């Protein structure tokens, strides 16, 4: 399959990328790992007239960890996140989701920024970033601003990014009791349903929780009812945890397709949230 013709330009740095976006307007798209955009271009579901390749910009990838906080460069590849001992120790949800995304070849190219910016309903990271209460750093010609995950994912393939924005980094606090698990679509590996859970513990009790679902609705969302229900439960009270995780997708129009009906996704949501809670509570 062949994309529609396009102009290709490599941006030297973020300022150059911004300048190129301003110059080429609405019909330009940034290219990072390309594993969301290029398949769409090959199917001609997307046909930007100008591609601005930011994949070679130095210093846009990397994992920094200081004072209990991670900062990930937007260009960091999934493979690097999956291989990070630091992430595995202090924010396992992200190492786990990165490791379950796609396959080894896809993980060698795809980037955390690209995946988040694309906002595919079946992607893993949007739910993970909601669970982490992550902050996205956006830059354009007017300056830099931060957008919290709760405000970043707004619709199917729709984020808070303006056409002239460059996503440069995402940051979040340590999340030692966190986990991600998903029902892999057997062909594509995408999340039919994916559960992202981040628990705050005090002693042997859950004090607070952030729970988000991938693949289930038109875009990633938090299960506020489950979050409230989990607060105060003892970590070894299996029956209470079971009850708390019920109705994870209640009130959401779950997606329906040839592989899984809305009813099936709604049922899977409860199962996978419960599994993610168990995984988050496992001693490591």
Partner 1 sequence: MQALRENLGLTGTHVGCDTSSCGACTVLLDGVSVKSCTMFAVQAAGSAVTTIEGIGTQAELHPMQEAFWTQHGLQCGFCTPGMIMAAIDLIARNPDPSEDEIRLGIEGNICRCTGYENIVKAVTVAAAAVRGA
Contacts with partner 1 by CB under 8 A lie at 1-2, 8, 10, 31, 34-35, 38-39, 42, 51, 53, 55-56, 79, 102-106, 108-109, 187-189
Long-range contacts of 44-48 (CB under 8 A, 24+ apart): 44/1, 44/3, 44/4, 47/3, 47/4, 47/6, 48/6
User: Contact, 181 vs 214, CB < 8 A?
Assistant: no
Which of 43, 156 has the CB closer to partner 1?
43
Question: What minimum distance in Å lies between the beta carbon of 162 and partner 1?
Answer: 25
User: Contact, 100 vs 127, CB < 8 A?
Assistant: no
Which of 51, 149 has the CB closer to partner 1?
51
User: Contact, 41 vs 31, CB < 8 A?
Assistant: no
Strand (E) or helix (H) holding 7:
strand 7-10
Distance CA 268, CA 216 (A): 9
Distance CA 117, CA 115 (A): 6
Give me the half-sphere count of Cα atoms (radius 13 Å) on the Cβ side of residue 108. 2
Which of 85, 103 has the CB closer to partner 1?
103
Question: What minimum distance in Å lies between the beta carbon of 196 and partner 1?
Answer: 21
Which of 8, 203 has the CB closer to partner 1?
8
Question: What minimum distance in Å lies between the beta carbon of 164 and partner 1?
Answer: 23
Strand (E) or helix (H) holding 120:
none
Question: What minimum distance in Å lies between the beta carbon of 186 and partner 1?
Answer: 11
Which of 8, 283 has the CB closer to partner 1?
8
Which of 29, 222 has the CB closer to partner 1?
29
Would the CA dihedral through 11, 110, 261, 198 be positive or negative?
Answer: negative
Question: What minimum distance in Å lies between the beta carbon of 102 and partner 1?
Answer: 7
Question: What minimum distance in Å lies between the beta carbon of 216 and partner 1?
Answer: 22
User: Contact, 136 vs 170, CB < 8 A?
Assistant: yes
Question: What minimum distance in Å lies between the beta carbon of 51 and partner 1?
Answer: 8
Which of 82, 220 has the CB closer to partner 1?
82
End-to-end CA distance of the chain: 45
Distance CA 116, CA 101 (A): 13
């Amino acid at each position: 399959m062949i994309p529609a013709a396009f102009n290709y330009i490599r941006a030297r740095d973020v300022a150059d990328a911004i300048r190129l976006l301003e110059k080429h307007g609405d019909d330009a798209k940034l290219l990072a790992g390309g594993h969301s955009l290029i398949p769409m271009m090959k199917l001609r579901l997307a046909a930007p007239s100008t591609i601005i390749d930011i994949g070679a910009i130095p210093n846009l990838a990397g994992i920094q960890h200081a004072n209990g906080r991670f900062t990930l460069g937007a260009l960091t590849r999934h493979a690097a996140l999956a291989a990070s001992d630091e992430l595995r120790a202090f924010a396992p949800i992200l190492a786990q989701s990165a490791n379950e995304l796609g396959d080894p070849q896809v993980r060698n190219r795809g980037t955390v920024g690209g995946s988040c910016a694309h906002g595919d309903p079946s992607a893993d990271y949007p739910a993970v970033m909601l669970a982490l209460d992550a902050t996205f750093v956006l830059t354009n010609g007017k300056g830099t601003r931060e957008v919290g995950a709760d405000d970043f994912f707004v619709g199917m393939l729709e984020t808070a990014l303006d056409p002239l924005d460059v996503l440069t980094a995402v940051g979040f606090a340590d999340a030692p009791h966190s986990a991600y698990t998903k029902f892999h679509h057997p062909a594509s590996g995408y999340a039919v349903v994916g559960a992202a859970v981040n628990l705050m513990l005090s002693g042997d009790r859950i004090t607070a929780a952030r729970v988000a679902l991938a693949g289930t609705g038109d875009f990633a969302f938090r299960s506020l009812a489950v979050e409230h229900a989990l607060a105060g439960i003892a970590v070894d009270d299996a029956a209470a945890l079971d009850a708390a995780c019920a109705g994870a997708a209640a009130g959401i129009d779950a997606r329906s397709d040839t592989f899984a009906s809305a009813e099936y996704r709604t049922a899977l949501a409860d199962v996978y949230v419960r599994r993610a809670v168990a995984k988050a509570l496992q001693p490591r």
